[in-house]
Amino acid sequence: MEREGATTRPPWSQGGTAGGRPTLLYARPGIIVTADRFTVGSTSWRVAELTHLHTTRGPHDRVAVRAALVSAAVIGGIGLALGFTGGLHRLTAGAYLLLGVVFLVPILVAAAGDRWRPRAYELWGQRGGVPELLFSSDDERQFGQVTRALRRAFEIHRHGGWEDPLANADLWRPRR
């Protein structure tokens, strides 16, 4: 059921290159990249205003970092207590092996945290000399598509516009 005025197309801004409307480079729910604008959610930037575009990875998940630090502190405390009480001299070879395996727990917790809750991919740029986080995603494929589309928009803007070569081409057709 369609409502009056409802549309599935993104709203076109003024100007553009293809028939009075900007060239659409990427469109998914909540993300639109045209030759003129970059829109994420309710925030929109003009491509001409953005500079110093670069990508980074976000911080590690705080829960995973804290779990690794707490487990390392507890295990280190147990090791220290055994060392000061002289309990390390009375341990068997199997106990030393078990203690070595237990010391790997913080490393395993940190690795599992990075696997289950990966660091986000972040796209940063500057507008008016102020750095801004433009886009962030934990989906590497989507992040790559958005980044490439925005870079194409920069190229289009830098070269003063872009016409679709096939739309304007005078194609050769055989006579019949």
pLDDT digits over 6-57, tens only?
A: 444 444 444 444 455 667 889 899 899 998 899 998 999 998 888 888 888 8
pLDDT digits over 121-157, tens only?
A: 999 999 888 999 999 988 889 999 999 999 998 888 7
Mean pLDDT of 58-81: 79
Which pair of structure tokens corresponds to residue 153? 């928009």
Assign 32 to helix, strand or coil.
strand
Rounded CA-CA distance 51/128 in Å is 8
The H or E element spanning position 9 is: none
Asked if pLDDT for residue 169 goes beyond 80, the answer is no
Asked if pLDDT for residue 168 goes beyond 70, the answer is no
Looking at residue 145, what is its pLDDT?
93
- Among 79-83, 86-90, 128-132, the range with the most confident prediction by mean pLDDT is 128-132
Does residue 47 contact residue 36 with C-beta atoms inside 8 Å?
A: yes
Looking at residue 144, what is its pLDDT?
92
Mean pLDDT of 99-112: 78
pTM recorded for the entire structure: 0.58
Asked if pLDDT for residue 113 goes beyond 70, the answer is yes
Looking at residue 165, what is its pLDDT?
55
Sequence-ordered alpha helix ranges (H) in the chain: 62-85, 93-102, 105-116, 140-158, 165-168
Looking at residue 80, what is its pLDDT?
79
Give the β-pairing of 50-57 and 121-127.
antiparallel
Average pLDDT over the chain, rounded to whole? 77
